[in-house]
Amino acid sequence: MSKIGLIIGREIKSKLSNKTFIVMTFLTPLIFVGAIAMIFWTSMPEKIEQNLLVIDQTGLFEQSLKGNDFITLTFSKQDIGKAQDEFPKSNYTSILFIIKGSDGNIIPQARLLYKKHPGLAFKTYIRQEMENIYYEYKLQSNNIDPAVISSARQAFDIKMDKVDETGAVNHSEGVQLFSFAMGLIMMLFILMYGMMVFRSVMEEKTNRIVEVIVSSVKPFELMIGKIIGVAIVGVIQFLATAIITSILSVVLSGIFLKEINEMKSQFDDNKQTVMKYGINAGAALKNTAQFKDNQKMFETMEQLQKIPFAKVAIFFVLFFIGGYLFYSSLLAAIGSAVDSEADSQQFMFPIMIPLMIGYFLAIKIMISPESNAVVIGSFVPFTAPIVMMARMPLDPPMWQILTSLAILYVSFILTTWLAGKIYRTGILMYGKKTSWREIGKWLFYK
Amino acid sequence: MSSILQINNVTKKYSNHTALNNVSLEIKEKAVFGLLGPNGAGKTSLIRIINQITGPDTGEILFKNEKLSPKHIEQIGYLPEERGLYKKMPVGEQAMYLARLKGLSKAEAKKRLIYWFEKFEMQGWWKKRIDELSKGMQQKVQFIVTILHEPQLLILDEPFSGFDPINAQLIKNEILELRKKGATIIFSTHNMGSVEELCDNIALIHKSEKILDGSVKDIRKNFRTNTYKVTFKGNVLGFTNALWTGAEILEKSSEDDVHTLTIKLLNGVTSSQMLQAVLPLCEILSFTEIVPSMNDIFIRKVNEGNEVLGTKSNYTE
């Protein structure tokens, strides 16, 4: 037993002292948070001072079009040609021409001349302001009350509630994406740490040190020590990544606090408008499209808060341990059977297939959460960790979770036992291309 | 002398060939035992069974008259033919790890390693990674790791391969030193020169079967071919006539009137009879028996074995 401890210790130490490993542990959260920051940053309006000259032939916008903190508006009745000639030498950064239609009516068209590109946010702002003005103008000129329009065009909200055996009603909509994410993370974890075991086994075999080691410990002990060692490394890495990510997130949200508050207040404003006029009072809303996205996001977040996270977390760990042991023992067996990574392709394939099936079933959960394929998939040990985990936010019956877990754990004992037999023979076989038939025979060696 | 290892009727079969067929051996304590045989004969299979890496299909192995079991692992040291260490791991850490796998305590392992590192002039290596060392240096590390736990039985598979002559000599001396201290050494090799030099007893395995065993002295005696080398001054014709049908001349060389003949005595003629016959005719300068080298015996036995066992190939390892 103390020898297994030594093996575990070495496995952990060798991984933790590996530079690539350390860099990856720190870099992954950095990339992750960095990417989010990037998306956030690019979606923020550019804050460049804009000095805009508006030449409005219609007269509609002169009173109603407003600037903001960065956009200063000057209205003029100047001649268009003259203004354009003087523009290069003027203080204005851009000129907006609003022309009447040929029949003298106001048409939704304008032209903007600029020196330096003012950016998309500027254009969007001006456009939305103008749209709002035009919308209200059109309604008024036709004697239509805007409230009538919005009350007529309403989005139907179908709220889906699940009634379980006891008659309790649960609202569990909007968590499908979370389900899928759970399944995906489970698959990536199993694969990542399974491959780590695979490489470690192959390294010892190609180094030829394995013969020295198995003259001191039983091959099975070596394999188990390795699998446990990598599992501990996995947990350490996971925790390190989680801690770094949360620290970075806190720092980042500190930096973007002002913007987030702005978004939030804008969202709240819009919410008020929606309450007043209904969802399609589009023109009255600031950033209509964004509002709809935000509304979905906030609703989903409300749903997510209802997921029993403690339960999900506990079962995630249990299913991860089961799934990891199940797959890593198979991968250890394969690692022992091949001489080089190139030879391993034919054996890798059958391992990847069930993982891929699990992944597709996790996608299927988003579309049809309780189909037969999904339920069966959550019991078969090859796919159970992924599929059952993806079902977890949808609150499957407890007996199904426990049965699935029990099947998985019994199966991993079986695969570990089989893998031990293959491993024992495989690690000492060199120079011969291994076939499935050959591996089958190894199972029966004494 | 009592035996440290007794191998009784061991058979090991793999799916499509037999690695060991009913092999029995006895390895005496405090001696150097040579395990010989061509490639693929079954030596490695036998060594792995002794190391308990694999088990025999039938037969049993006794370690000091006890059934071989995992508790004996710590009394055995094994240097495999294909050497290997963790390439990225520092030398000292690696040696400590392997020593502790053999049951040494941390403190004891460290103490002994420092002793050996000094002895082999490797003090500066502790923190170096294996892939920073030359091949010969790696071999030294591997040798130390093999003997560090002071095993009673040391199994060395081609221990000299990869060493330059100076280091080979160093290792050779260490092996002899270990024997003096009471270790038994199983020595698997193709290098017949070192067999004659080091081994007390040998066993020859060929095509999964033991075809020869015994002490090196006895074996060489048994393989005597009644061949002698005579150097003399005088008339060659007279010399050969005197022998008549009692001998066959295998080789002849001359320098001025000094002649060297390699002759094989036939028809039960003894060396003294031959000398009596030729003494009146010439002046004998030297006379030695040509005892076959282990190399000759090895080749002869293996070839004989091929004839006996037929040409059925079971070369898979």
pLDDT tens digits along A355-412: 999 999 988 888 887 888 989 999 999 999 999 988 888 778 899 999 999 999 999 9
Look at A214 and A292; give whichever has higher pLDDT.
A214
* Contacts with A, B 84-113, CB within 8 Å: 84-89, 93, 97-98, 100-102
Mean of pLDDT over chain B: 86
Same domain? A77 vs A217: no
- Section B253-265 average pLDDT: 86
Interface test with A, best of B50, B82, B161 (most A CBs within 10 A): B82
Chain B residues close to A445, C-beta within 8 Å? 14, 54
Domains of chain B: 3-221 (3.40.50.300), 225-289 (3.30.70.1150)
Nearest CB to B98: which of A212, A438, A446? A212
Looking at chain A, the whole-number percentage of residues with pLDDT higher than 90 is 20
Same domain? A322 vs A403: yes
Is 60 exceeded by the pLDDT of residue A285?
A: no
Is 60 exceeded by the pLDDT of residue A154?
A: yes
Distance, CA of B35 to CA of B43 (rounded, Å): 7
ipTM: 0.81
Residue A194 belongs to a domain: yes
Nearest CB to A208: which of B84, B93, B97? B84
Look at A305 and B205; give whichever has higher pLDDT.
B205
Residue A3 belongs to a domain: no
Cβ-contact A42, A257 below 8 angstroms: no
Cβ-contact A51, A74 below 8 angstroms: yes
Residue A119 belongs to a domain: yes
Q: Which residues contact B276 (CB under 8 A, 6 or more apart)?
A: none
Same domain? A352 vs A429: yes
Count how many Cα atoms sit within 13 Å of the Cα of residue B218 in the half-sphere of its side chain: 8
Residue A277 belongs to a domain: no
Strand partners, B3: B28
- Section B111-130 average pLDDT: 90
Cα angle vertex A381, ends A404, A175, to 5°?
Answer: 60
Q: Do A216 and B85 touch (CB under 8 A)?
A: no
Chain B residues close to A209, C-beta within 8 Å? 84-86
Question: Domain holding A86: CATH number?
Answer: 3.40.190.10
Chain A residues close to B52, C-beta within 8 Å? 215
Instruction: Check if A207 contacts B (Cβ < 8 Å).
Output: yes
Q: Do A212 and B87 touch (CB under 8 A)?
A: no
DSSP of A313-351:
HHHHHHHHHHHHHHHHHHHHHHHHH-SSGGGGHHHHHHH
Same domain? A226 vs A360: yes
pLDDT of residue A272: 66
pLDDT of residue B26: 92
Same domain? A125 vs A203: no
Pairing type for strands B76-79 and B227-234 reads unpaired
pLDDT of residue A147: 77
Is 80 exceeded by the pLDDT of residue A254?
A: no
pLDDT of residue A291: 56
Same domain? A88 vs A199: no
A-B C-beta contacts closer than 8 Å: 71
For residue B103, the distance in angstroms to the closest alpha carbon of chain A comes to 8
- Section B257-266 average pLDDT: 87
For residue B55, the distance in angstroms to the closest alpha carbon of chain A comes to 6
Distance, CA of A287 to CA of A273 (rounded, Å): 12
**pTM for this prediction:** 0.76
Single-letter amino acid code for the residue at B248:
E
Same domain? A377 vs A242: yes
Residue A430 sits in which domain range? Answer: 172-246+306-442
Instruction: Check if B57 contacts A (Cβ < 8 Å).
Output: yes
A299-303, A376-380, B232-236: segment of lowest average pLDDT: A299-303
Q: Which two tokens stand for residue A287?
A: 């950033």
What is the total count of domains within chain A?
2
- Section A294-318 average pLDDT: 72
Q: Do B101 and A219 touch (CB under 8 A)?
A: no
Pairing type for strands A71-76 and A50-56 reads parallel
Residue A260 belongs to a domain: no
Same domain? A431 vs A338: yes
Distance, CA of B270 to CA of B251 (rounded, Å): 19
Q: Do A215 and B15 touch (CB under 8 A)?
A: no
Residue whose token pair is 């702002």: A125
- Section A69-76 average pLDDT: 85
Distance, CA of B228 to CA of A11 (rounded, Å): 63
pLDDT in tens, B175-218: 889 999 989 999 898 778 788 888 899 998 888 888 888 888 88
- Section A102-128 average pLDDT: 85
Is 70 exceeded by the pLDDT of residue A137?
A: yes
Same domain? A95 vs A139: yes
pLDDT of residue A312: 82
pLDDT of residue A266: 67
Residue A183 belongs to a domain: yes
Mean of pLDDT over chain A: 82
- Section A122-127 average pLDDT: 86
Look at A336 and A168; give whichever has higher pLDDT.
A336
Same domain? A320 vs A232: yes
pLDDT of residue B315: 41
Strand, helix or coil for residue A75: strand
Q: Do A208 and B89 touch (CB under 8 A)?
A: no
- Section A247-271 average pLDDT: 71
Chain A residues close to B146, C-beta within 8 Å? 212
Distance, CA of A179 to CA of A265 (rounded, Å): 30
Residue A33 belongs to a domain: no
Distance, CA of A114 to CA of A151 (rounded, Å): 40
Q: Do A218 and B70 touch (CB under 8 A)?
A: yes
Q: Which of A16, A25, A24, A18 is nearest to A241 (CA)?
A: A25
- Section B163-167 average pLDDT: 83
Same domain? A111 vs A218: no
Instruction: Check if B78 contacts A (Cβ < 8 Å).
Output: yes
Q: Per mean pLDDT, which of A18-27, A335-344, A381-390, B263-272 is the most reliable?
A: A381-390
Same domain? A115 vs A233: no
Single-letter amino acid code for the residue at A361:
L
- Section A252-258 average pLDDT: 72
Single-letter amino acid code for the residue at B174:
E
For residue A405, the distance in angstroms to the closest alpha carbon of chain B comes to 35
Instruction: Check if B39 contacts A (Cβ < 8 Å).
Output: no
3-class secondary structure for B23-80? EEEEEECCCEEEEECCCCCCHHHHHHHHCCCCCCCEEEEEECCEECCHHHHHHEEEEC
Q: Do A207 and B54 touch (CB under 8 A)?
A: no
Residue A10 belongs to a domain: no
Instruction: Check if A445 contacts B (Cβ < 8 Å).
Output: yes
